[in-house]
Structures are given as C-alpha cells and as structure tokens.
A = this chain, B = another copy of it.
C-alpha cells in the first residue's frame, strides 16, 4: 500500500475541523486529535488517524455521544469513579488523568476510574501527561474479549494494555504494552501477507496453538472460539499463566473497581462500553525527586549500554524508539496510507471540511 508523508500540523488542523464539525468544543477536538497524532508521530499507525473512520461511524450512528457529560459516581480525596456516559474515550480519559494528577498533588496518590466509555487511543498518551507534571503515571483499559485464559478456548479477557511513564533523562521510561502476546492488528498483518502465525500467538476454536491467521481472525469475528494467547504464549511452560494473571489484574483495575462491563461482556461494535483507569503517583513521597529521577536515568543508561547479543545492533529502553520516530516524523511528515487518506477525504466531504483546504498533496 502506498504511503504519503504529510506534515503533522496539516493532519492536525484537518482532524480538529472534522471533530468540531461533529459538535465537539475546540478543546475537546484538540484533545482527540492530539491523541491520534501522537500515535502517528510515535509510529503506532494502528492507533493513529487511520482510526478516524471508526470514530466517524460511531459518531454518526450515535454510539459515541458528543454532548454527554461525565457523571461522578463516587469520590474521595484520592479517588473518583465516573460514568463515561458513552462519551468519546479521549475526552473522558484526558479529564481522568488530569483529575488523578490534581489529587496526587494534594495527597500523593490519585486514582480515577471511568466506566461506560469508548476506545481512548494509546494508553501511553495519558501516562505521559503525568510524567510531564513530574509524576509517575499508570493507565489501564479493558477491551472487547480477545484473549483466552490459560487452558481455555473462549476469549474472556481483553488485550489488557498496561502503560506506565516515569520521568528520566534524556528519555522517559514510556512503557505501553498489551499483556497478550500480540494484538489483533498483528494477526491482520500476517494474514494480509499470507504468512503463518508464529507459534504461541493465537489459538484455534479448540484452544490449541494455530498458525492459520485467517482462521483465527474469522473465529474471533464470529465469536466462534479461540483468540490470542496471553503474554507467555500457549503453555505454562513459557509463562502463559503470567500474562493471563496480568489480564485479570487489568480487569480488576478497570471494570471491577469502576462497576463497568467486564471484558467478556464488552461489545465489539456500537458502544464499546469499556472501562479505564488512571493512576498518578507523586514520587516525591519517596524522597528527593531529582535524586530518584537521576537513579532512574542511570539504570536506563546502564541497560542501553550493556553488552549486546550477537547480531543485535542496539539495546533499547521503552519509549526511545517512539521518541526518535517522533523527531523524525516532525521533520519529515507522518506517513498516511492512500486508503486512510481517501477515508479522510470522504469524511471531510460529508462534514463540509474540504481535505485539500488543510492538506497539501503533491
């Protein structure tokens, strides 16, 4: 598929205009767009502007509501539970982390959990917000069930991402991973390329290791059994039960504490009804922040400088790749594929937002 490099600022202006056309405020439009653009700048295309079509469809069918307002269900000085009222995930999420940070400023620790919301983009976006305020940020979300428990054959848990960001120099520790071996997007890439799936990625309808990407994806779509394995793969021998437990942990920290819908009951289409949670920790509760940050920076540096395996060119710490890609994409533009561009044009045309007025195509 052909890609074009487009200046991030142009894509940003276009997306903001589209979201405003749906009735989002200027601020909320900027938030939603910034989450999408950050993914593209970091090289995480799956969570970037290519998702615009899904959001547009959800807004048009009304499963994501523009004018809904968050309702506080429960609150303490260090915590809050909100009902997301099917708002746009990014809007609820940004407010969630902002509130967690405010609470952490007062008490040291802030936890905000939101139920009944929708997909919020990359989890790591919100943890970065905390790190920018010199706090340790943690974020988790549940999703539609796609992962099978160790020994099972029915998808019961989500991809259960965990994101953590801790300030460090020159690059923060920015960790944002699904606690499954892979996500659905990876299966789709292998399927398109007609390559067999590596062992330990996915299960067939009997719960057994399966290399047939098409079969696995069809089963997932039809909810006919099978799914993706938890981090650790097929068997306890390689630690499958560990990833499975991390998945339960994410469910605990999202739907269970918020009273939201648990992953086995989250829908794929229409209103996603997901739950997510933001933790902010003022790490000054453990002493001098400068010293703690310095120790973190040193550990990461030691890891990067440690001896490399044969054939390995570089040891990374988490967030380095994304930081470098961001610098590159800010200079050279973000790659947008033709299909996405066409979708953007169509969405814009339907909203009286003309793509060519925002984006220069050579």
Which residues of A are at the interface with B, using a C-beta cutoff of 8 A? 73-74, 76-79, 81, 107-109, 111, 113, 136, 148-154, 156-157, 164, 166, 173, 175, 177-179, 181-182, 198, 200-201, 203, 206-208, 225, 231-233, 237-239, 241-243, 245, 248-249, 251-252, 255-259, 262, 264, 283, 285-287, 291-292, 295-296, 299-300, 302-303, 306-312, 314-318
Contacts and interface: CB of A to CB of B under 8 A. Distances in A.
A81 B291 CA distance: 14
A324 to B, nearest CB: 15
Contacts of A318: 241, 245, 248
Contacts of A239: 177, 181-182, 231-232, 243
Contacts of A243: 231, 239
B302 A207 contact: no
A256 B151 contact: no
B81 A287 contact: yes
Given A79-B285, A258-B286, A314-B151, A200 B238 contact: yes
A287 B74 contact: yes
Nearest to A315: B151
Copies in the complex: 2
A151 B314 CA distance: 7
21 contacts: A73-B287, A74-B287, A107-B107, A108-B109, A111-B285, A151-B309, A151-B315, A152-B308, A152-B312, A156-B303, A166-B252, A175-B248, A181-B232, A207-B312, A225-B307, A231-B243, A241-B316, A248-B318, A255-B295, A262-B302, A264-B302
Given A249-B164, A302-B156, A206 B310 contact: yes
A170 to B, nearest CB: 16
Given A239-B231, A248-B317, A299-B256, A308 B207 contact: yes
B309 A207 contact: yes
A310 B73 CA distance: 43
B156 A306 contact: yes
Nearest to A287: B74
Contact of A78 (B108, B136, B225, B264): B108
Contact of A245 (B175, B259, B311): B175
Given A177-B245, A178-B242, A241-B316, 5 more contacts: A136-B252, A152-B308, A179-B242, A181-B239, A256-B299
Contacts of A149: 303, 306, 315
A248 B300 contact: yes
B309 A206 contact: yes
A238 B81 contact: no
B78 A154 contact: no
A52 to B, nearest CB: 28
A223 to B, nearest CB: 12
